[in-house]
Amino acid sequence: MSKLDVIVIGAGFTGLTAANALADAGLDIVLLEARDRVGGRVESIPLPGGLRVDTGGQFLCEDMPEVMALAKAHGKTFIRPYDLGEIAYQPSIEVEHGDEINRQVYQLRDVIAGIDLADPSIASLTVSEWIDRQNTSADAKSAFLALVTGLWCCPPDEISFVYLASTERRFTNTVTELEFFLAETMHSLADDLAARLGDRLRLNHPVARILHSEHGVEVFCDTDSFRAARVIIAVPPVMTRRLAFEPALPDHLKNALSAWQSGSVIKALVRYARPFWRDRNLSGTVMWSEPQGLYACDVSRSESAPALVVFIGGPLATAWHGRNEDALKGFVLERLVSALGEEARQVLDIHLRDWVDDRWSGGAYSDTIVDVHAADAERVMLSGTASIRFASSELSPSFPGYIEGAIVAGKTAAEAIAGLPSNNHLRMQDY
């Protein structure tokens, strides 16, 4: 068996980016993917009639330079979701009051952005404990917790506050992250990256075991094994925990890996014959403070193809996971009816993608640090070992938990391994 330069494990955007960068640099690589497709938490399905839609990661914005550049380079068509009209707040409140609560939530986010992460008074707080200490309205606290539940897809009384504050300052967008989606799907961009790799990409190659030493690695799949000088493990931290390392990873790495928890999310696409909400000057965006973890927005491709996407995140998704699909569709419809009116009942169809406990991705946009004493878990993982480098969107110096973050994480890992010229603005110590 000949020895490769680098094995990359996981063909999400992190692994695809790293593999392409290393191959472009002339290194001998292989990219091993467990599933029969690439993209990881970015995937698509064909709807009846053939139109493909993203059932995982979908949106991007101008302030995400890497994914924007990639989509432009591959000639993708950018669709700007309809955003005229008002937000519907649930339970129903006056729009002015809802906007005021939103303003207070943004103030809280500004407070977080200015916090010294080394401040001992926040050292072992959960997000819920931190919000309890803030001097703001009960409505703003509740809306903040709903936002956290929806974005991190975990209960705020479990999420480490220092971790949340650290990720918040890496979300540097000034425009909404839902600014665009791609007509061809985000998933088609993953396919484009995969196509450049040719037979260096091996689908249906779940990695189970990794032998490692300072001289190199041997990586074992069901039927194959591969040897290389280095390995990039481009899978989320909770998935990395499932790999068998021989010898066992040192304690500091084991502890860093055990700090993470998968979130829970279910994504629903609800298609209509008419964008009826626009008649009432509603944008289609619905923000629920109760139940927490629910959010909807307009993803119509055009006026003649109206649709809403509904995200069900955190404990609500965990509660619905594995239950009857029709009952979940009914729940989504009732929530939309109370927010947008009776016409919301007249759907063409509803497509659900339940990511909770997903075999290869965990369960949400991102794994989250829930060990409040593990503030340095990311730095420890990034240090890796002589032959192992950990990379996934979670470990990105910018936009962790997003596709942008995955691309940056992949580039950063490849740069470190191949001595490629680095993007100085992306160094870990900068945040």
Site for ligand FAD in 179-208 (CB under 6 A): 206-207
Closest separation between CB of residue 170 and ligand FAD, Å?
A: 13
Judged by CB under 6 A, the number of residues near ligand FAD is 40
Rank residues 19 and 165 by Cβ distance to ligand FAD and give the closer one: 19
Query: In the β-sheet with 347-354, what is the strand arrangement from edge to edge?
Result: 86-90, 282-288, 294-298, 307-313, 265-272, 347-354
If we measure between CA atoms, which residue out of 286, 315, 301 comes closest to residue 51?
301
What is the rounded distance in angstroms from the CA atom of residue 27 to the CA atom of residue 200?
11
8 Å CB contact between 332 and 270: yes
Looking at 7, 18, 19, 58, which residue binds ligand FAD (CB under 6 A)? 58
Looking at 6, 112, 239, 339, which residue binds ligand FAD (CB under 6 A)? 239
8 Å CB contact between 35 and 203: yes
Closest separation between CB of residue 171 and ligand FAD, Å?
A: 11
DSSP string, 124-165: T-BHHHHHHTS-S-HHHHHHHHHHHHHHH-S-TTTSBHHHHH
Rank residues 98 and 150 by Cβ distance to ligand FAD and give the closer one: 150
Hey, which residues does 309 pair with through a beta bridge? 269, 297
Looking at 401, 408, 411, 413, which residue binds ligand FAD (CB under 6 A)? 401
57 is a site residue for ligand FAD (CB under 6 A): yes
32 is a site residue for ligand FAD (CB under 6 A): yes
Looking at 366, 368, 398, 412, which residue binds ligand FAD (CB under 6 A)? 366
272 is a site residue for ligand FAD (CB under 6 A): no
Q: Which stretch binds ligand FAD (CB under 6 A): 3-11, 286-294, 297-305, 373-381?
A: 3-11
Closest separation between CB of residue 92 and ligand FAD, Å?
A: 27
What is the rounded distance in angstroms from the CA atom of residue 429 to the CA atom of residue 431?
6
Closest separation between CB of residue 40 and ligand FAD, Å?
A: 2
313 is a site residue for ligand FAD (CB under 6 A): no
Closest separation between CB of residue 359 and ligand FAD, Å?
A: 8
Q: Which stretch binds ligand FAD (CB under 6 A): 56-64, 116-124, 209-217, 342-350?
A: 56-64
What is the rounded distance in angstroms from the CA atom of residue 394 to the CA atom of residue 236?
7
367 is a site residue for ligand FAD (CB under 6 A): no
Closest separation between CB of residue 60 and ligand FAD, Å?
A: 6
Looking at 10, 98, 150, 306, which residue binds ligand FAD (CB under 6 A)? 10
Looking at 4, 14, 140, 293, which residue binds ligand FAD (CB under 6 A)? 14
8 Å CB contact between 353 and 39: no
Q: Which stretch binds ligand FAD (CB under 6 A): 33-41, 73-81, 96-104, 113-121?
A: 33-41
293 is a site residue for ligand FAD (CB under 6 A): no
Structure tokens at 199: 């037979």
Site for ligand FAD in 148-167 (CB under 6 A): none
Closest separation between CB of residue 325 and ligand FAD, Å?
A: 16
8 Å CB contact between 25 and 53: no
Structure tokens at 348: 């063409």
Looking at 59, 260, 320, 331, which residue binds ligand FAD (CB under 6 A)? 59
Looking at 193, 265, 286, 309, which residue binds ligand FAD (CB under 6 A)? 265
Closest separation between CB of residue 119 and ligand FAD, Å?
A: 28
Structure tokens at 58: 């979908």
Q: Is 303 exposed, middle or buried (0-12, 13-18, 19+ CB in 10 A)?
A: exposed
Angstrom CA distances, 231 to 85, 104, 226, stand at 50, 45, 10
What is the rounded distance in angstroms from the CA atom of residue 40 to the CA atom of residue 147?
25
Closest separation between CB of residue 218 and ligand FAD, Å?
A: 15
Alpha helices, H only, 25-123: 65-73, 95-114
Could you give the angle at the alpha carbon of 9 between the alpha carbons of 231 and 21, nearest 5°? 75
Looking at 7, 19, 35, 126, which residue binds ligand FAD (CB under 6 A)? 35
8 Å CB contact between 296 and 286: yes
30 is a site residue for ligand FAD (CB under 6 A): no
Q: Which residues contact 165 (CB under 8 A, 6 or more apart)?
A: 112, 113, 115, 117, 122
Which residues of the shown chain bind ligand FAD in the complex (CB under 6 A)? 9-15, 32-35, 40-42, 56-59, 206-207, 234-236, 239, 243, 265, 267, 355, 360-361, 364-366, 392-393, 401-404, 406
